Amino acid sequence: MQQTLTRNVFWIGFFLIVLWAWWVMFSMVAAPMSMMPGQFAGLFAMWAIMMAAMMGPTFVPTMRAYEDLITSANGSRVGSIGVVLGFFVVWVGFAALISLAQLWLIELGLLTKMGKSISNVFSAVLLISAGVYQFTSLKDKCLAHCRSPMFQFLAHWRPGFVGGVSMGFHHGVYCVACCWGLMVIGFVGGIMDLLWMGGATLLMTLEKLPDIGKHLTKPLGFGLILWGIATLAV
């Protein structure tokens, strides 16, 4: 009974954080001029919340794999909290880097203050680069990692909270390397575009499902490359 209660509290808390993050993003879209941050601190906070909104759903299969190890091995609830924390530490680091990149690109005159590309050439470079990456061995390696969370946990098992943080961090590094392309193309239509946010979240989630993702990765790459070429032709 106690184990069931703690499991339910954990999952309810996890999804409440994800829903809160999406609510914040909806609020920012509803009042873009008043809420869109222009300095690093505000921009970083926005990206960090966006990471929670977009990457939370993609992380569910991984957490379900760890959940199985709570009952079948020496996984623990504090370990699961550590896994989540380690995973999002990596993505918060990515949020810091992409916030700095956005400010730099705004200074170069390639992005508006709303994070939307001004240049068709720049947009095409982002799209084609993300598309080509879909065919690389690094992308395949990262996807293989993300599609087999149970195997990865067993191969790098560490018990307890600190062990969970370590495994979550390890998984997060692979996840960033897998998904960065779909993140940066948010600059093409503007990072406050909820259609991009929802679409990218869906694609990143499906890519990590073995039965579906293996049929999606390469066509998605072709689509991004063609989109980039079409952008140049406009």
Q: 10-59 pLDDT, tens per residue?
A: 889 999 999 999 999 888 877 655 455 568 888 999 999 999 999 999 99
Give residue 98's pLDDT band: very low, low, confident or very high (50, 70, 90): very high
> In the prediction, which pLDDT does 15 show?
92
Whether residue 135 contacts residue 221, with contact meaning beta carbons closer than 8 Å, is answered with yes
Whether residue 228 contacts residue 221, with contact meaning beta carbons closer than 8 Å, is answered with no
Range from 40-49, 70-79, 120-129 that averages highest in pLDDT: 120-129
Tell me the mean pLDDT in the region 158-176: 93
SS3 percent helix, strand, coil of the chain, rounded to 5, is 80, 0, 20
- Spell out the domain ranges in the chain: 2-233
Query: Mind listing the pLDDT tens digit for each residue in 184-195?
Result: 999 998 888 888
Q: Is the pTM of this model over 0.85?
A: yes
> In the prediction, which pLDDT does 138 show?
95
